[in-house]
Amino acid sequence: MPQSPSYQNRIELLQGTLDMLILRTLQWGAQHGYGISQAIRINSGDVLQVETGSLYPALHRLERQGWVRSEWKLSESNQRAKYYRITALGKKQLLTDQARWQTIVDAIAAIMQADPKRS
């Protein structure tokens, strides 16, 4: 079976990063599972393809922790779908996650860009 190009370019997400991406996506407004996966794919320029086997457990975990709320609504195409909405707690969590992620990125960047000859 031929694999699609986006599948080959897939990047393994760091543990916890998916939660942050989902919360970030939901900041644009309530969205259903399919919509979230599409948004992440499009916004990452087809680099990040979220697997459903990770997406749905993550969504339910977020809901259990009270960071998102879910409700059944009709989609644009008049389909009944479960929409997720970020909660105030979720927004706070997103800020924490983002800050931590920034720290990690900076730290990794610092290591990667450091000039070995200078040390």
Partner 1 sequence: MFLRWWRSASRRKEELDEEIQAHLRMAAEDRIDRGEAPDSAREAALREFGNVALVEDVTHDVWRRRWLEELRYDLRFALRTLRNNPGFTAVALLTLTLGIGANTAIFSVVNAVLLRPLPYPHADRLVYLSEWTPQIRFMYISMPDFHDWLARNTVFETIGGYRIADVTLTGVGEARRLQLRQVTPGLFATLSATPVLGRLLTPKDDQPGAPPVLILSQDFWTRELNRDPRVINQRLNLDGESYTIVGVVDNSHWHIGWPEVEAFSSLGRLAATPPFPNRIDHRGIYALARLKPGVSFEQARDQMWNIAGQIAHQYPQSNSSVSVNMMPLLPGLVQNVRQPLLLLMAAVVLVLLIACVNVANLLTSLAIVRRQEIAIRCALGAGAARLARQFLCESILLALMGGAAGLLVAYLSIGTANSALVHLASSTIPRLNEISIDKSVLFFTLGVSLLTGVAFGVVPAMAAYRIDPQQLLMNSGRISTSGLSRAGVRGFLVAAQLALSLVLLLATGLTIKSFFLVMHQDRGFRAEGVLTAFLTFPPLPYQDDAQKRSLVEQLVEKVAGLPNVTAAGFKSPLLGDSEAMFTIEGRPAINGGDEPFTEISSVTPGAMEAMGIRLIQGRFFNAEDRADSEPACIIDDLMAAQNWPGENALGKHLSTEIPRSPDGQRPWRRVVGIVHHVQHYAGDWPTLAGTYLPYSQFPLSRGVAVVLSNLDQASLEPAIRDALHSLDPNLAFYSVQPLTSIVAEDLAGRRLVVVLLSILAAVALLLATVGSYGVMAYMVSGRTHEIGVRRALGARPQDVLQLVLAQGLRLTLSGVAIGVLAALAVSRFTRGLLFGVKAADPLTFAGVVVLLMIVAMAACYIPVRKAVGLNPLDALRHE
Contact positions vs partner 1 (CB under 8 A) = 32-35, 38, 51-53, 56-57, 59-61, 64, 75, 77, 79-82
**Closest CB to partner 1 among residues 59, 86:** 59
Signed CA dihedral, 85, 86, 88, 89: sign only: positive
Shortest Cβ 56–partner 1 spacing (Å) = 4
**Closest CB to partner 1 among residues 20, 59:** 59
Q: Give the residue carrying structure tokens 């086997």.
A: 53
Give the residues across from 43 on adjacent strands. none
Shortest Cβ 103–partner 1 spacing (Å) = 21
Shortest Cβ 57–partner 1 spacing (Å) = 5
Tokens of 15: 């543990």
Runs of H (alpha helix) within the chain: 5-8, 17-26, 33-43, 52-64, 88-113
**Closest CB to partner 1 among residues 70, 118:** 70
Tokens of 115: 């000039």
**Closest CB to partner 1 among residues 45, 53:** 53
Is the separation of the CB atoms in 67 and 20 below 8 Å?
A: no
Shortest Cβ 14–partner 1 spacing (Å) = 19
